[in-house]
Structure 1
């Protein structure tokens, strides 16, 4: 994720950092590097544009 797209970062909450971008909200696990986005907060047009 390019740093220019990050709008907000939260404190570490249980080994996860929450990341807010112009496309929505998601989290990154500090132990595994895995991440996930919350699709309910993501603009549907953004999802359609992705391969």
Structure 2
């Protein structure tokens, strides 16, 4: 997880990614994410 400013502009590798954006934990698009992201987020939410 990252701590950052959702109003800041971040540099990223545009050859690797089309864009980047922030998501609330309940809004992560699991079908478009790493196959283990959903399991990771469930564990993370359990530790909040």
Q: TM-score, normalised by structure 1?
A: 0.28
| Higher helix residue share | 2
Q: Larger Cα Rg: Structure 1 or Structure 2? A: 2
| Higher strand residue share | 1
